[in-house]
Structure 1
């Protein structure tokens, strides 16, 4: 078992429908990219506290069952995607750590919203959140039953998000879809309906956000002259606006910015909400 096997794309599997959806999305993406796909099935064998002989037998049984689950996943993907180079490992360690380790030398990590170990009431499991928060490569969270979508949606927060747009444009070149780049902002001016001068201030604020959007998007868009890009800025709550916009998207790309000093939150509140509620797969890009 080699938990550090390099691969183009790494996907976590555990036999759950959510993981199966993630694996299928990852297989399609690997086919579009022309790269390999590596499956990781993590199992915890460190909780057995019986006698040494019994403990060894139980561990062997756990690993055998895990191998059966992995082989079934590999078999289904091989039948559906015979052109793919597929590999897989059973890794006896905590799931998020196993996926993060396998993805260290990969282009992309893919996870489902939650697996067998998660609570049914949770929209997104702790494993997926941890991988999104700590992965050094882009991570895609695939929601079971996600629609095909009409475009690649890219969230633009500020000028650091040029790489997120570049990722979205690369996806667009392989899917044949256009890109919609959206910058969401909350007006600083309050109660504009009751003060005419504030309306002018709001207009100026909107112009500044439009400048930021085009200053970020235009240079990157020029690198992909064949991909249609529609850039727009919208006033409103970031998470709610992006979640609503994701209804028509095939993929939502959003950057993971470094945590603010003294707070230690690996995922911002807007990103956290988007991961829980988006209607399409979400690609989280560390910047």
Structure 2
């Protein structure tokens, strides 16, 4: 019950439907990667009672019930994926630090949109936000998608040339899934925001060319490593959050980099990451960039 896991895929479970969907997605991913799957069920055993005996009894009951939830999920996954090595732990601590600890040396952490602890009206739970904001490994947040939805490619957001890390992740996933990758760079037309009555065509053309060069350099830095995976690159003007959410409609996975927070601000996730985590039409992979 120490929460540590071997390198592989780690998934947080709690008996909720979103967590069960995430666990099934994680099992298929572990099979594709040829690695193990580790389940983490975290429970806060803190109790408010004046009786040490009653407190100990409540703690034992909480842990026993948690183990039953974990065992049920393990049985389901082992039955559906008999060749996959699957382990699990009940961890007596808050969920986010439990998953972060378990995923310290993992290839991938996987979570549902929200579990039993959050409000039903929320699109994304605090645990998923905290893990994606702080995990050392890529994190995938799995959301329920419509079965009739066509998913025919992986979408990766390119903000700048540091996003080669996210592009490599997307290309590896596409290789495993047998799907093409679309790299998408979004930007604002700066000259259109100056309050001028007419756009400056020369300046806008120069700006477009600079963004084309950025996207081309980013793609060319990685594409030779994956010669058998189809990769296309597009740029669109507009607000990145809205564009990425809309363009995710037919994607099997949306991959986006987690850039370092701006100085003097505590936010660990940028606006685009927040938006796609809450509103994307497909699972979202958040890939941390290495520290500068």
Whether the 8 Å contact between 1:17 and 1:144 is mirrored in structure 2 is: no
Whether the 8 Å contact between 1:178 and 1:229 is mirrored in structure 2 is: yes
Q: Counterpart in 2 of 1:87?
A: 87
Stretches of structure 2 lacking an aligned partner (at least 5 in a row): none
Query: Are 2:209 and 1:207 equivalent residues in the alignment?
Result: yes
Of residues 54-63 and 87-96 in structure 1, the stretch that sits farther from structure 2 once superposed is 54-63
Q: CA RMSD in A?
A: 1.3
Q: Counterpart in 2 of 1:219?
A: 221
1:34 Cα deviation after fit: 0.5
Write the distance in 1 (CA, Å) between the matches of 2:170 and 2:150.
15
Deviation string, structure 1 residues 217-236 (Cα, Å, up to 9, x no partner): 11201110000001011101
Q: Counterpart in 2 of 1:27?
A: 27
Whether the 8 Å contact between 1:109 and 1:138 is mirrored in structure 2 is: yes
Write the distance in 1 (CA, Å) between the matches of 2:150 and 2:85.
24
Q: Counterpart in 1 of 2:267?
A: 265
1:69-148 → structure 2 map (5 Å cutoff): 69-145=69-145, 147=149
> When the two structures are superposed, what TM-score results if normalisation uses the length of structure 2?
0.95
1:199 Cα deviation after fit: 1.8
1:1-287 → structure 2 map (5 Å cutoff): 1-145=1-145, 147=149, 149-190=151-192, 194-195=197-198, 198-287=200-289
SS at match of 1:54: helix
1:5 Cα deviation after fit: 2.1
Write the distance in 2 (CA, Å) between the matches of 1:93 and 1:214.
46
> When the two structures are superposed, what TM-score results if normalisation uses the length of structure 1?
0.97
Write the distance in 2 (CA, Å) between the matches of 1:262 and 1:206.
31
Write the distance in 1 (CA, Å) between the matches of 2:5 and 2:234.
41
Write the distance in 2 (CA, Å) between the matches of 1:5 and 1:180.
33
Q: How many residue pairs get matched?
A: 286
Stretches of structure 1 lacking an aligned partner (at least 5 in a row): none
SS at match of 1:227: coil
Write the distance in 2 (CA, Å) between the matches of 1:47 and 1:59.
8
Whether the 8 Å contact between 1:48 and 1:59 is mirrored in structure 2 is: no
Write the distance in 1 (CA, Å) between the matches of 2:66 and 2:223.
45
Write the distance in 2 (CA, Å) between the matches of 1:51 and 1:144.
43
Of residues 145-154 and 71-80 in structure 1, the stretch that sits farther from structure 2 once superposed is 145-154
1:72 Cα deviation after fit: 0.5
1:117 Cα deviation after fit: 0.4
